[in-house]
């Protein structure tokens, strides 16, 4: 199984039998090395919330590939009304898809969808994803601040890889993401949601150093857009 990073919070999970995309912000992403037209087949498109830098190209990709957008009920309905295929879920629920299990976790963040007039449409609650593929659990935290129930997630699920935001301002910063790693206890932490824009600029080296010092049982790997990590 390979985890490809496409910049910001966008990850492609690829294994022998298929692939999924998470938060497909490609068009307009200054750090992205992939384009929507690069994807002709997907098994699922997971979207953590409705902000443009996460919903991104999801609707276009669903129409292009036939893959369902997996999201909270309100956001899934929004996408479906615009011609996408969608599977609605909500926080605390899980569902077995042909490619594996998906469970929605809480995330402390907003989810407003900006329409062309500049108004905000209600997009439901932001979420994170626990994903089980080929017996391995992956955790994409979405955009979130630190919360205590990350410890519960870590106790209940043997997380192989945790994808955690470190950009601060809108999400956890470096210190909070290190503490989140202590609670989650993953084998590997991949930082995300940093350095895409000036307001979320962070020193990823500092994060990796603090992680190594404070959470020695977890390894850290900073991927540049276009790079991959193989489990």
For the chain, what are the domain ranges? Answer: 2-220
Residue 48 CA to residue 63 CA, distance in Å, equals: 19
Full-model pTM: 0.97
Distance CA 205, CA 28 (A): 26
How far apart are alpha carbons 167 and 192 in whole angstroms?
A: 8
Ranges of beta strands (E only) in 62-216 are: 69-72, 86-89, 94-97, 100-106, 113-114, 120-121, 127-133, 136-140, 159-165, 188-192
The one-digit pLDDT tens for each residue of the chain (231 residues) are: 999 999 999 999 999 999 999 999 999 999 998 999 999 999 999 999 999 999 999 999 999 999 999 999 999 999 999 999 999 999 999 999 999 999 999 999 999 998 877 789 999 999 999 999 999 999 999 999 999 999 999 999 999 999 999 999 999 999 999 999 999 999 999 999 999 999 999 999 999 999 999 999 999 999 999 999 999
How much is the pLDDT for 116? 76
Contacts of 44 (CB under 8 A, 6+ apart): 20, 21, 67, 68, 70, 97, 99, 102
How many CA atoms lie less than 13 Å away from 46 in the CB half-sphere?
Answer: 33
* Closest residue by Cα to residue 184 from 213, 223, 211: 211
pLDDT on residue 118: 77
Contact 166, 205 (CB under 8 A): no
Q: How far apart are CA 172 and CA 9, in angstroms?
A: 13
d(CA 6, CA 227): 8
Q: What is the distance, to the nearest Å, from the Cα of residue 209 to the centroid of all Cα atoms in its chain?
A: 23
What is the pLDDT, as a whole number, of residue 115? 82
Domain 2-220: assigned CATH number: 3.60.15.10
H or E element in which residue 176 lies: helix 174-184
User: How many C-beta atoms lie closer than 10 Å to residue 42's C-beta?
Assistant: 20
A 10 A CB-CB count for 203 gives 12
pLDDT at res. 205: 98
Q: Is the Cβ–Cβ distance between 60 and 36 less than 8 Å?
A: yes
């Amino acid at each position: 199984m390979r985890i490809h990073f496409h910049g910001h919070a966008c990850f492609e999970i690829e294994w022998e039998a298929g692939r999924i995309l998470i938060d497909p912000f490609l068009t307009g992403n200054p750090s992205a090395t992939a384009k929507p037209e690069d994807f002709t087949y997907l098994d699922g498109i997971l979207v953590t919330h409705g902000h443009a830098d996460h919903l991104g190209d999801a609707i276009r990709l669903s129409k292009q590939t036939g893959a369902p957008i997996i999201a909270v009920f309100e956001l899934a309905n929004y996408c479906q009304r615009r011609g996408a295929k969608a599977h609605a879920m909500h926080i605390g629920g899980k569902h077995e898809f042909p490619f594996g299990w998906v469970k929605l976790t809480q995330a402390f963040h907003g989810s407003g969808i900006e329409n062309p007039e500049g108004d905000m449409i209600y997009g439901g609650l932001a979420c994170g994803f626990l994903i089980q593929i080929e017996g391995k659990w992956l955790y994409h935290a979405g955009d979130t601040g630190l919360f205590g129930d990350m410890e519960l997630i870590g106790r209940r699920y043997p997380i192989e890889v945790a994808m955690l935001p470190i950009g601060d301002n809108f999400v956890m910063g470096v210190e909070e993401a290190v503490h989140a790693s202590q609670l989650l206890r993953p084998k590997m932490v991949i930082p995300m949601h940093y350095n895409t824009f000036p307001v979320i600029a962070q020193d990823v080296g500092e994060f990796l150093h603090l992680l190594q010092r404070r959470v020695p049982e977890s390894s850290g790997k900073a991927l540049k857009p276009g790079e991959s990590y193989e489990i």
